[in-house]
Amino acid sequence: MSWTAIDTWIVIVGALCAMSCALPGTILVLRRMSLMGDAISHTVLPGIAIAFLVTGSRDPAAMLIGSIVVGLLTAFLIQAIQNLGKIESGASMGIVFTVFFAFGLVLMRQAIDHVDIDPDCVLNGAIEFAWFDQPYGLGIPRGAIINGGMLAGNAILMMLFYKEFKITAFDSSLAKSQGIRPEIMHYLLMTMTAATAVAAFETVGSILVVAMFIVPPATAYLLTDRYGYLILISLLLAIASAGIGHLSAITVPIWFGYSGTTTAGAMAVAAGLLFLLAWLGSPTQGILASIVKKFETRALILRQDILGLLWRFEEREQHPHSLDTVATMLRVNKNTIVQSLKTLARQGEISDNFLMMKLTSKGRESARAIVRSHRLWEVYLDKHYPQDKNQIHHAASRLEHVTTEQMQDDLGGASIDPHGRRVP
């Protein structure tokens, strides 16, 4: 692999593009309008094609105006069909954007002799060739200027209307009551989306731009609860997607004997992989975190059950003697019991020689609390929801683990449980 100035510029253009998309993307994701971004980025194509046909050139201003007009028209039509035609929003989006995209394809095919627009660009963008198009002899690629300008524009708008966007994103009725007009914010957002999508068109194409809009903000949403951080993390993820994307586009295929692949596609995949990482590993929302939490809860419940069991043996002045007894009574295997006993010994709930299974005074106290909760619940359930004694026992076995002292007091001070045993 040889990294050149061209590669650096590709990453810079990609990062600028991904960042400018991520800004409106945060609002799209929070307002559950991600697919509006999808619809509008598809309709950029007819906007560009019309601008080509009218002006006969690749004038960026004309392309920008054409796409914004078509983008706003899309947003308006989707709303109108949804309201007047009594159709759900997904279907109305599907109708509008596919028809517009089809129209764009037909126009492109018709205009192919007059203008140089490449169907491949619609799919892959032209980020690889960004370096070769340097207007005004500045030494800066056109893509960097366009995407950088877009990023600056979006950033300024987001700073100006930060509060308004934040309130409408989370609670549009509250926004209304505070004098913010949600529909104005909506169309401002749609304008930003359309303009950003057309700026990104030459970089990543008209379909992959959806990945840039949605994936980094959605990833950030799994990592934070604050809007300010959400924006910041989205921007960082956007940069990371561009960097990792281009790097893997020029390295990974080489390992298998191919020369490379499309950077725009690889950027989307990189963003997807970052999402996957957050999905698995997010400390609050991730799958791993929830699995760990589930296991911890299960282990805690087992330890409490063991303490309760030992206490009940002591009550009858007996001792379980063997691990097998405990394992069969609690319906878990012996190894798990040994693990839990080790932990209990470490916590000082049972004596250090854990195989003896002897409660310490601390352990006796916590076990007493558990058994007390259990029997109080049995009394309560028997009184208010009389049913089979076995069922009451099972319900109480589950409730005992979540009963606080306050709740024990609220359950009343009975001294004998329905089985005729003392409440400790």
Partner 1 sequence: MPSIEQLFRVLTLEDYNTRVVVIGVMALGAASGVIGTFLLLRKRALTADALSHATLPGIVAAFMVIVAFGGSGKSIIALLIGAFVSGCIGVLLILAIRHTTRLKDDAAIGIVLSVLFGLGLCLLRIATEMPGGSVAGLKGFVFGKAASMVAGDAWIMCIVATGVVALVTLFRKEFTLLCFDEKFSTSQGWPILKLDIALMGMVAIVTVIALQSVGLVLAVAMLIIPAASSRYWSTKIANMIFIAALIGALSGWLGATVSALVPRMPTGPIIVLISGCSFVVSFMFGTKNGFIVNQLERSLLNRRIAMQHFLRAMWEITESNADNSFHFKTIVAHRSWKPPFVRRLVKRAICFRYCSSIAKDVWIMTEKGSAEATRIARNHRLWEIYLINYADIAPSHVDRDADAIEHVIGQVMVDKLEALIKEENLKSPHPIGVNQ
| Other C-beta atoms lying within 10 Å of the C-beta of residue 240 | 18
Residue 129: alpha-carbon gap to chain centroid: 33
**Of 22, 127, 190, 268, the one binding partner 1 by CB under 8 A:** 268
Residue 52 carries which side chain, given as an amino acid letter? F
Residue 101 C-beta: closest distance to partner 1, Å: 6
**Of 215, 357, 370, 381, the one binding partner 1 by CB under 8 A:** 215
Q: Write the binding mask 228 to 267 for partner 1: x where contact by CB under 8 A, - elsewhere.
A: ---------------------x---x--x-xxxxx-xxxx
Residue 39 C-beta: closest distance to partner 1, Å: 9
Position 305 contacts partner 1 (CB under 8 A): no
Q: Which is nearer to partner 1, 38 or 378 (CB)?
A: 38
Structure tokens at 17: 């593009």
Residue 219 C-beta: closest distance to partner 1, Å: 9
**Of 93, 194, 302, 307, the one binding partner 1 by CB under 8 A:** 93
User: Which of positions 26-45 make contact with partner 1 (CB under 8 A)?
Assistant: 29, 32-35, 37-38, 42
Contact region for partner 1 (CB under 8 A) — 118-126, 305-313, 382-390, 394-402? Answer: 118-126
Angle made by CA atoms 137, 141, 146, in degrees to the nearest 5: 115
First to last CA, the chain: 74
Q: Which is nearer to partner 1, 128 or 164 (CB)?
A: 128
Residue 148 C-beta: closest distance to partner 1, Å: 23
Residue 130 C-beta: closest distance to partner 1, Å: 17
**Of 52, 131, 221, 311, the one binding partner 1 by CB under 8 A:** 221
Q: Which is nearer to partner 1, 62 or 222 (CB)?
A: 222
Position 106 contacts partner 1 (CB under 8 A): yes
Position 95 contacts partner 1 (CB under 8 A): yes
Task: Report the C-alpha gap between 371 and 185 in whole angstroms.
Answer: 58
Position 70 contacts partner 1 (CB under 8 A): no
Backbone angles phi, psi at 318, to 5 degrees: -125, 180
Q: Which is nearer to partner 1, 51 or 207 (CB)?
A: 207
Residue 294 C-beta: closest distance to partner 1, Å: 12
Residue 70 C-beta: closest distance to partner 1, Å: 15
Position 207 contacts partner 1 (CB under 8 A): yes
* Residues 332/305, Cβ–Cβ less than 8 Å: no
**Of 15, 218, 337, 367, the one binding partner 1 by CB under 8 A:** 218
Q: Write the binding mask 360 to 399 for partner 1: x where contact by CB under 8 A, - elsewhere.
A: ----------------------------------------
Position 416 contacts partner 1 (CB under 8 A): no
Interface positions with partner 1 (CB under 8 A): 29, 32-35, 37-38, 42, 81, 84-88, 90-95, 98-99, 101-103, 105-106, 109-110, 112, 119, 123-124, 207-208, 210-211, 213-215, 218, 221-222, 249, 253, 256, 258-262, 264-269, 271-272, 275, 279, 285, 287, 290
